[in-house]
Chains A and B, each alone.
Chain A
Amino acid sequence: MIAEAGLAALWLAAGLAAFQMVLMLLALKSDVDVVRPMRAVAVVQGALTLIAFAMLLLVFARSDMSVKLVFENSHSAKPFIYKVAGAWGNHEGSMLMWVTILAVAGAFVALFSRRTSERTLIAGLGSQAVLALGFYAFLLIASNPLARLFPAPPDGRGLNPLLQDPGLAFHPPTLYLGYVGLSVAFSLAVGALLTGEVDSRLARAMRPWVLGAWVLLTLGITAGSYWAYYELGWGGYWFWDPVENASLMPWLAATALLHSINVLAARGALKAWTMMLAVIAFSMSMVGTFLVRSGILTSVHAFAIDPERGTFLLALLAIYVGAAFILFAVRGAALKEGAPFELISRESGLVINNLLLSVILGVVFLGTLYPLFVEAVSGEKLSVGAPYFNAVAGPLALLLAALVGIGPLLSWRRQRRPVFGQLKLPALLAASALVITIILAPAIGILPRLGFTVAAFLAAASVLPLTGRNPLRAPFATWGMVVAHFGIAVALTGMAANAAFSSERLAIAKPGETLNVGPWLVQLKDVTPTAGKNYTALEAELRATRGEKFIVLNPQTHYYSDPPTETNESAIRTFWNGQLYTVLGRSDPSGGWQLRLWWKPFVTLIWAGGGLIAFGGALALLGRILRRRRRREPDWRTRYI
């Protein structure tokens, strides 16, 4: 009954979404006041999908093998937390989660949005409902998550052991929340283009959603990067894999949107451009979801392409994004540009930021999809890898990071005094970083060296907006910006240090043998079998020392039986100045074991920086919400109830 109740809720929600679409058309055609039913229906629709998703969680929690999805993705012997996480660790469940977040976001807009005009709100909620409607159709027609299986099998087929990891259990929901947060920006932009009311009120209504989505995307990417680093056992933090790029592209677009939306909110300028970015940001989320869910770019691996589902998603993507682009082409011309600004001003600084981010986005987009098009045209198979992305996107990102230090010092509309006076200290630090790396590490590459230089400059320049006044009285939004920009410098330092100073050792060692990596001497004591809850394992005992007393690391190889899979569990020890990273490989006929050892100086700064960037965004979001509370406008609820 649980599964059927969930399915019924899903059908009802789809019906309500269709009703919202009718309401929107009604409101756009005539002057009927539908704001109250629209808000109410949006809230109920959100509640219904939430119920459907809760039912799915429930059948997974109870290991109800009569539900096909549970049978395929779960197992009664699995730890409880992964049983629940199994609900979204698969295609159907994750699509239900996606539409749930979409509908709940719509409900939140309906409950709390007071900034836009009523017409734009109606059009925005209607657009959100149309988005949801497509995904309801997708779920109900092509991938029903609550389908039954008869007769019910005794036990399930397990979950990919790589997915039995707390990081991965919570990674997709974070990214999805980010993706779908951008759907609100998309819907509001489409709504505003429909009504022609693109103004600073709209920007202020969109801003918290964009900020929130951006914070979650930042967290998701940072966490995903760390997950790949410790779980895959390859020692890298970013592989330019299509699936990774799929999460990076919406982030780049959202970052650009986050900055241009401030221009629209403060100055009423960059109207068309901001609407375009709002459309692109969510389009990139849909492209990302499509790439991951259709398995199209990873088809070399065992991922099965399901043409029906892939086609359905692609059609949704084409319809929504195409409609938004056409709307933009038709209505974009009618948008009057706002207040003018001069060449050296905060506005043009943000325009340059947007241009650089867009070019990087283009570079990543091209690199991700290029192999596909070459194959379509010439039949030749090729792959675009890190060398392309690093060589093309790297310098652009460095340039952007350097300009991040300068932009916030400019004033709106026109910068009267030259800013260089303020930048003496950062410039001095940058020059010293350059000189020091040339003297102490003459052999490192040009990009890491420039990375250190730019990071030193940015670290000092990013805190300048807090100087010259009482920093405690600066608004949260300013603090957020400073923290996020400082986070970029921190992450950049980590990347440069990792690129310049990592040492790697791949070797076959017999028990008792000692290997050296970087400043470390690592001795393989022994390899012993051990067992976990649903796997058996081999565990190595490594003793590592760099002069003082030794530390023990225990990398493992896990063997899962259902389905038969083998994973490497790295052992990582973090120190203030870096990480020692060890992986146990296969045994060798000679009686030795393959060992992979890395010493990675300051590599943790990469994720610390990512965390700081997200924290900065959260601070800014908090500031916006608190400020809104302080000057509360008349509440719609008090007006209507």
Chain B
Amino acid sequence: MSRGLRLVPIVLLIWMVAGLAWRLVKPFDPAIQSQLVSRELPTFALAPAVPGKPGLASTDLAGGEPRLLNIFASWCVPCVGEATVLNELRRRGVKIDAIAVRDTPEAVAAFLNRHGDPYERIGADPQSNVQITLGSSGVPETFVVDGRGIIRHQYVGPLSASNIPGVLTQLKGAK
């Protein structure tokens, strides 16, 4: 065996150890790449979650204009913090629809009274069925949907103020 060939294992080892070491020191990134990104929304039609506000169907999200689809619940603590961010987005002209997961009309109404109401439509998903078909595993989550009903981006966990410019760019890009 030539000398070069005998050094191959060492090179491979260094390569492997470097990769593994990088993985160990790199902070863990919670972002999950959704399998639904760049796919069409699954078909659904949800009843209104609060009286006086329309429910939500998948066709509402294919109306030609990019929108946000927020998945929230009145019993969800991080959603309270997220509400200010959504209100700010609404103030800047972003259209937001929502799905309220495992909730009651009274509780949702109380939540909106207390923390503001940035939503145009809210669908009720009492058994999480639509949430699951959307590939969402918790609340809150937010989807950027373009005008043709195709998911462009998924945020897992609450949006923060630092996300606002990114969301606006994504909505602009989705046109």
Contact = CB atoms under 8 A, between A and B. Distances in A.
Given A307-B24, A314-B17, 10 more contacts: A280-B9, A290-B20, A296-B23, A305-B24, A310-B24, A311-B25, A329-B3, A329-B6, A333-B6, A373-B19
Nearest to A307: B24
Interface in A265-297: 272, 276, 280, 283, 287, 290, 294, 296
Interface string B41-79: 000000000000000000000000000000000000000
Contact of B19 (A328, A369, A381): A369
Contact of A332 (B6, B19, B26, B127): B6
Interface in B5-52: 6-7, 9-10, 13-14, 16-17, 19-26, 28, 32-33
A299 B30 CA distance: 10
B10 A589 contact: no
A276 B9 contact: yes
A343 interface: no
A283 B13 CA distance: 10
Given A296-B20, A333-B1, A372-B19, A318 B13 contact: yes
Interface string A322-345: 100110110011000000000000
Contacts of A376: 19, 22-23, 26
A300 B156 CA distance: 14
A333 B21 contact: no
Given A314-B17, A369-B16, A381-B33, A325 B10 contact: yes
B7 A329 contact: yes
Contact of A328 (B9, B14, B28): B9
B160 to A, nearest CB: 21
Given A322-B10, A326-B10, A329-B10, A314 B24 contact: yes
Among B17, B22, B33: residue with most chain A CB under 10 A: B17
Contacts of B28: 299, 305
A292 to B, nearest CB: 13
A3 interface: no
Contacts of A283: 13
Nearest to A273: B1
Top 3 A-B pairs, shortest CB-CB distance: A329-B6, A310-B24, A318-B17
Contacts of A202: none
Interface string A360-372: 0000000001001
B19 A307 contact: no
Contacts of A329: 3, 6-7, 9-10
B3 A321 contact: no
Contacts of A332: 1, 6
A438 to B, nearest CB: 37
Contact of A314 (B1, B9, B20, B26): B20
A1 to B, nearest CB: 37
A286 to B, nearest CB: 11
B13 A296 contact: no
7 contacts: A276-B9, A314-B20, A322-B10, A322-B17, A333-B3, A375-B23, A376-B22
B23 to A, nearest CB: 5
B20 A307 contact: no
B20 A322 contact: no
A307 B9 contact: no
Contacts of A322: 10, 13-14, 17
A294 B19 CA distance: 14
Contacts of A375: 23
A272 B1 contact: yes
Contacts of B22: 376
Contacts of B19: 369, 372-373, 376
A317 B3 CA distance: 23
A122 B168 CA distance: 70
A311 B10 contact: no
Given A333-B3, A589-B127, A296 B24 contact: yes
B6 A311 contact: no
A557 B1 CA distance: 58
A369 B15 CA distance: 11
Given A328-B6, A329-B3, A373-B19, A307 B25 contact: yes
Nearest to A317: B17
Contact of B24 (A287, A311, A326, A369): A311
Contacts of A276: 9
Interface string A403-445: 0000000000000000000000000000000000000000000
A511 to B, nearest CB: 20
Nearest to B127: A589
Contacts of A290: 20
A294 B7 contact: no
A381 B7 CA distance: 31
Nearest to A299: B28
Contacts of A325: 9-10, 13
Nearest to B25: A307
Contacts of B16: 287, 369
A372 B3 contact: no
Contacts of B25: 307, 311
A566 to B, nearest CB: 15
A310 B1 CA distance: 35
A321 B13 contact: yes
Nearest to B6: A329
Contacts of B6: 328-329, 332-333
A299 B32 CA distance: 12
Contact of B21 (A300, A314, A589): A314
